């Protein structure tokens, strides 16, 4: 298996001939916690987040590599245990495999957990797709004394098995070679025989449905129907007017009673048999298991676990603030210096006022005040990557489940909420692993209240001016208020719109790992890059629009009350007056915060003349009370455009609208109530 180097270009198979001209489509399938995303990274060298908790691959990730002159386009499918479309992830993976028909499917298995993982391999083989198996984490299986005869596994299933250790790039070249070899192999036969009677019935079902407009190949349609797949049952209702297929399925039920259980047991029995046949436990070395057990006793303890979780979060934020602040001051200084130099340079060549203002007010002061917070963002995502990679994030779902359940949410909602501290967009996408629509929609709806990293710069700026001594406490209070509002929102909407109970928690917990620095840096860099790109595109454009509106109509003084900007802000300002910041600059800043929350300070920077002077000006226009009220508003008032788009994509336009209206209401009310009460005291 997989021996002998063959020039894939010389191979005579028709498939290979075609693939030389076009691109070979490769899909990566596998269960959660098999290291699938790491294999994807190793194959394509792309920067992608990897995580230990189930379902991190929620966005469709694509990459490519070249092998012997051929381009291989790789799609990383969501990690699933099954393809029965219980969750959105399963449906995405199944539809991709059956409808897009990739040329080769790389099924990634966790070598330490073969029995469960082989089940998914059998499902892919039943789809009639060419398969190469990556036996990942092979080193860990060896460490545990597990000997896997992968050549024998390969010869039984007629599939190439390649042992890999993706974290250390071991076996990746061999995997690429095997993928090119697999292109010339005949399509696999279904590995499991379900017995004469059942197979006969399945063939009859295939015969009867083959004239219908089929969503999948006939064998898959027959199997899915036999397994009582909800989606296929609906499909059948539309097409099976004679009722013949229904009758066949009834007779299947008579033979096997519970078809779902029957097919599972057959496949599972087969994979159990394979494991018995092809693996042996040489010596029982369980050091890693014991380590994880010991750690779990503390980290998942009912109350100690929660204390550790709170402590870890506090520690992460403390380090993020402490470590990044010198860099941030430095970056702000650099931008300030650049603004001054450019102003000086342009003045000396006699450039017009508007051009000087364009570069200094619009560009350096606006974008600069946002970009200077780059170190905070990078560090925050670096620590989140560490939490995910180490396997701790999955425990967050576990330890918070009792609390979340009482609040009407699911343990996994907690993972989305924590991710929301980083960015609401991936956090909202991560809800795809939740099974019930109710849990998903509630988790999506509350996420914008989780204070994302884009809001952090606004807090830090105001804290630096108004609460230099209580910076930590103020920031923590804002994060807490965000969480409280999220929880209240969940309660209210659970009561209003979703009467049913949240689904109980059941999940695989990965063993603890020391996070790989390369993966952490990759992940943090990827998110920081997105932040930079946002700063360079939407934030830059909104800054320039603000700048332009500040200059217009011609003749008005820049960014004055009489500019278009001033007039627009003045129109909105009365609404904000009860909250304590009823001046037009604040209204403009908050409006631009819709584009991206960082833009709030960007706009203030543009209007008040740059990062350096911003501190002094803010001290004169806000009081500590109105400053805190402004921060409350920034925290709660509106999801940014990207988040609204994510909500619309995941839950539909109705819920996106609900989120906008609700958050505006909550933000304004919270700021107003706080300001009015605090002013009384």
Binding site for other proteins (CB under 8 A): 81-82, 86, 112-113, 115-116, 119, 144, 260-261, 264-265, 268, 289, 292-293, 296-297, 300-302, 394, 397-399, 401-402, 405, 411, 503-511
* Cβ neighbours of residue 128 closer than 8 Å, sequence gap 6 or more: 187, 188, 190, 217, 219
Q: For residue 200, give every residue at least 6 positions away whose Cβ sits within 8 Å of its Cβ, in sequence order, or none.
A: none
Find the shortest distance in angstroms from Cβ 541 to other proteins: 45
Reduced to 3 states, what is the DSSP secondary structure of residue 280?
Answer: strand
Closer CB to other proteins, 239 or 261, in the complex: 261
Closest CB 120 distance from other proteins, rounded Å: 10
Can you read off the two tokens belonging to residue 377? 């963002």
Residue 151's Cβ-side half-sphere holds a number of Cα atoms within 13 Å equal to: 3
- Residue number with CB closer to other proteins (198 or 397): 397
CB of 298 to other proteins, least distance (A): 10
Nearer residue to other proteins within complex by CB, 210 or 261: 261
Structure tokens at 452: 């994302």
Query: Could you give the CA distance from residue 212 to residue 221 in angstroms, rounded to a whole number?
Result: 11
Q: How far is the CB of 112 from other proteins (least distance, A)?
A: 4
Residue 2, phi then psi, degrees to nearest 5: 70, 20
Q: The tokens of 571 are what?
A: 């129109």
- Residue 379 Cα distances to 386, 414, 448, 470, 536, angstroms: 11, 21, 21, 22, 20
Q: Tell me whether residue 68 or residue 508 sits nearer to other proteins (CB atom).
A: 508
Output DSSP code: residue 79. Answer: P
- 672 — phi, psi (to 5°)? -65, -45
The phi, psi pair for 75, rounded to 5°, reads -110, 130
Report the nearest approach of other proteins to the CB of residue 142 (Å). 13
Strands 279-281 and 146-148: antiparallel
Q: How far does CA 215 lie from the centroid of its chain?
A: 29
Smallest gap from residue 195 Cβ to other proteins (A): 19
| Rounded Cα gap, residues 584 and 299, in angstroms | 49
Q: Which is nearer to other proteins, 407 or 535 (CB)?
A: 407
Q: What 8-state DSSP symbol labels residue 165?
A: B
Q: How far is the CB of 95 from other proteins (least distance, A)?
A: 19
Nearer to other proteins, 186 or 302 (CB): 302
In the complex with other proteins, which residue's Cβ is closer, 67 or 498?
A: 498
Cβ nearer to other proteins, comparing 210 with 301:
301
Nearer Cβ to other proteins (399/590): 399
SS (H, E, C) 179-216: HHHHCCCCCCCCCCCCCHHHHHHHHHHHHHHCCCCCCC
Nearer to other proteins, 44 or 136 (CB): 136
CB of residue 24 vs other proteins: minimum separation in angstroms? 31
CB of 157 to other proteins, least distance (A): 18
Three-state secondary-structure class, residue 129: coil
Task: Report the nearest approach of other proteins to the CB of residue 285 (Å).
Answer: 12
Q: Are strands 160-163 and 279-281 parallel, antiparallel or unpaired?
A: unpaired
Q: How far is the CB of 670 from other proteins (least distance, A)?
A: 33
Instruction: For other proteins, give the closer residue by CB, 90 or 598.
Output: 90
Q: C-beta of 205: minimal distance to other proteins in Å? A: 23
Q: Look up tokens 């070899």; give the residue.
A: 181
Closest CA to 436 of 462, 418, 409: 409
The answer to whether the CB of 584 falls within 8 A of the CB of 569 is: yes
Q: Name which of 513 and 623 has its Cβ closer to other proteins.
A: 513
Strand partners, 164: none
Q: Which residues pair with 160 in a beta bridge?
A: 132
Radius of gyration of the chain from Cα atoms? 29
Q: Taking the complex as a whole, how short is the minimal distance between the CB of residue 91 and other proteins, in angstroms?
A: 15
Closest CB to other proteins among residues 340, 405: 405
Whether residue 383 contacts residue 422, with contact meaning beta carbons closer than 8 Å, is answered with: no
- Residue 127: DSSP 8-state: T
Q: Cβ of residue 150: shortest distance to other proteins, in angstroms?
A: 17
The CA–CA distances, whole Å, from 308 to 295, 392, 410 equal 12, 11, 20
Query: Residue 231 CB: number of other CB atoms within 10 A?
Result: 14
CA–CA distance, 385 with 411 (Å, rounded to integer)? 19
Give the 3-state secondary structure of residue 257: coil
The minimum distance between CB 53 and other proteins, in angstroms, equals 11
Q: Specify the residue, 73 or 116, whose C-beta has the smaller distance to other proteins.
A: 116
Which residue, chain included where needed, has tokens 């499991």? 192
Of residues 137 and 656, the one with the C-beta less far from other proteins = 137
């Amino acid at each position: 298996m997989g021996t002998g180097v063959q020039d894939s270009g010389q191979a005579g198979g028709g498939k290979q001939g075609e693939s030389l001209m076009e691109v070979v489509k490769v899909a990566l399938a596998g269960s959660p916690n098999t290291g699938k995303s790491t294999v994807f990274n190793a194959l394509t060298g792309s920067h992608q987040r990897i995580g230990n908790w189930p379902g991190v691959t929620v966005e469709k990730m694509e990459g490519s590599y070249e092998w012997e002159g051929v381009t291989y386009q790789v799609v990383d499918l969501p990690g699933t245990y099954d393809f029965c479309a219980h969750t959105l992830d399963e449906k995405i993976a199944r539809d991709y495999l059956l409808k897009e028909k990739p040329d080769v499917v790389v099924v990634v298995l966790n070598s330490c957990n073969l029995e469960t993982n082989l089940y998914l391999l059998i499902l892919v083989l039943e789809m009639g797709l060419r398969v190469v198996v990556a036996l990942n984490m092979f080193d860990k299986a060896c460490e545990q004394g597990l000997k896997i005869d992968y050549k024998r596994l390969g010869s039984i299933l007629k599939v190439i098995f390649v042992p890999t250790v993706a974290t250390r790039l071991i076996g990746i070249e061999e995997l690429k070679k095997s993928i090119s070899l697999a292109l010339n192999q005949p399509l696999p036969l279904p590995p499991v025989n379900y017995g004469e009677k059942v197979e006969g019935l399945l063939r009859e079902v295939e015969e009867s449905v083959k004239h219908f407009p089929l969503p999948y190949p006939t064998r898959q349609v027959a199997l899915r129907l036999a397994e009582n797949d909800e989606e296929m049952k609906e499909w059948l209702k539309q097409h099976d007017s004679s009722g013949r297929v229904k009758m066949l399925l009834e007779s299947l039920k008579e033979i096997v009673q519970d078809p779902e259980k029957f097919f599972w047991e057959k496949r599972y029995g087969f994979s159990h048999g394979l494991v018995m046949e092809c693996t042996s436990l040489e010596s029982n070395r369980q050091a890693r298991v014991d380590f994880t057990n010991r750690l779990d006793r503390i980290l998942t303890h009912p109350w100690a676990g929660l204390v550790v979780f709170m402590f870890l979060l506090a520690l992460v934020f403390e380090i993020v603030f402490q470590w990044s602040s010198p860099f941030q001051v430095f970056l702000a200084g650099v931008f300030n210096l650049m603004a001054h130099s450019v102003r000086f340079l342009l003045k000396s060549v006699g450039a017009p006022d508007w051009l000087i203002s364009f570069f200094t007010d619009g560009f350096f002061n606006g974008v600069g005040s946002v970009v200077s917070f780059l170190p905070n963002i990078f560090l925050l995502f670096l620590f989140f990557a560490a939490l995910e990679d180490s396997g701790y994030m999955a425990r967050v779902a576990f330890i918070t489940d009792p609390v979340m359940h009482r609040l009407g949410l699911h343990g996994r909602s907690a993972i989305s909420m924590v991710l929301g501290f980083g960015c609401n967009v991936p956090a909202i996408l991560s809800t795809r692993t939740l099974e019930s629509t109710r849990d998903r929609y509630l988790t999506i709806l509350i996420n914008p209240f989780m204070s994302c990293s884009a809001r952090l710069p606004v807090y830090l700026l105001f804290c630096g001016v108004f609460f230099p001594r209580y910076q930590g406490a103020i920031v923590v209070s804002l994060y807490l208020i965000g969480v409280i509002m999220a929880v209240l929102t969940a309660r209210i909407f659970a009561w209003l719109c979703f009467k049913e109970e949240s689904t109980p928690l059941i999940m695989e917990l990965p063993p603890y790992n020391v996070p790989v620095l390369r993966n952490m840096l990759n992940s943090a860099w990827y998110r920081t890059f997105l932040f930079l790109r946002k700063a360079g595109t939407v934030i830059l454009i909104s800054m320039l629009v603000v700048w332009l509106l500040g200059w217009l109509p011609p003749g008005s003084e820049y960014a004055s009350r009489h500019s278009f900007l001033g007039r627009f802000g003045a129109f909105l300002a009365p609404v904000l007056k009860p909250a304590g910041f009823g001046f037009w600059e604040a209204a403009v800043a908050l409006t631009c915060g819709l584009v991206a929350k960082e833009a709030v300070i960007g706009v203030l920077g543009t209007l008040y003349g740059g990062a350096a002077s911003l501190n002094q000006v803010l001290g004169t226009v806000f009081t500590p009370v109105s400053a805190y009220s402004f921060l409350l508003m920034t925290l709660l008032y509106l999801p940014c455009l990207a988040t609204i788009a994510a909500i619309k994509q995941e839950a539909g336009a109705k819920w996106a609208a609900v989120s906008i209206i609700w958050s505006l209401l909550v933000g304004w009310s919270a700021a107003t109530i706080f300001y009015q009460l605090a002013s009384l005291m």
